[in-house]
Amino acid sequence: MGEAPQYVAARVQQALAEDERTTELGIRVDVRGEQLFLRGQVSCEERRTLIADVAEEAAPGLAIRNELTVSDVRVPEGEEKL
């Protein structure tokens, strides 16, 4: 019998927080069967890819479903009107 899904998810979240490439705390990790889902928002495509890489290293053998979205974090031009 394999490791319980909640333990795998916790291990991946810890890896995302501790790995110097990601140091990410805001990602939701869910394991269903042989699939690991990553959900949340990141600042750029490169970060999205790095997070999937770290997750894959922390949970080898699971199919990574990268559902992270890249948020548009451009600085607004001019003053913001209220």
Q: Number of folded domains in the chain? A: 1
**59 inside domain:** yes
In terms of pTM, does the model score above 0.85? Answer: no
**75 inside domain:** no
Domain of residue 39, residue span: 5-70
**76 inside domain:** no
**81 inside domain:** no
Q: What is the pLDDT of residues 25-71, one digit of tens each?
A: 899 999 999 999 999 999 999 999 999 999 999 999 999 999 999 98
Residue 1 has a pLDDT of: 45
- 34 contacts 2 by C-beta, under 8 angstroms: no
Residue 3 has a pLDDT of: 83
**82 inside domain:** no
CATH number at residue 42: 3.30.1340.30
